[in-house]
Amino acid sequence: MLTKTVTKLNVPGPKAKAILARDHVVVSHAYGRVADLVMSHGLGSQVYDVDGNRFIDFVSGIAVNSTGHSHPHVVRAIQQQ
């Protein structure tokens, strides 16, 4: 649950900057970046970057629109397969 709103972040942080520098060297430039964010994981409607910043996922990720990120029922069903 979000308890406060932060409107100014130092993004990208140091870990993300290191990953983005390597990304620039090894990943095709045919794929553009919308933002300099490096996500580590998602949970429900929130995503987290490698520097520990938490964001609301207003686009609901890709292919997770109905359940959010890491929904326990979906994770359990996949584990049981």
Domains in the chain, CATH or no CATH each: 14-80 (3.90.1150.10)
Q: What is the pTM of this model?
A: 0.71
Contact 70, 42 (CB under 8 A): yes
Per-residue pLDDT of the chain (81 residues; tens, 9 = 90+): 667 776 677 789 999 999 999 999 998 888 777 788 899 999 888 999 999 999 888 776 566 566 778 889 989 999 999
**CA gap 15, 35 in Å, rounded:** 15
What pLDDT shows up at residue 17? 96
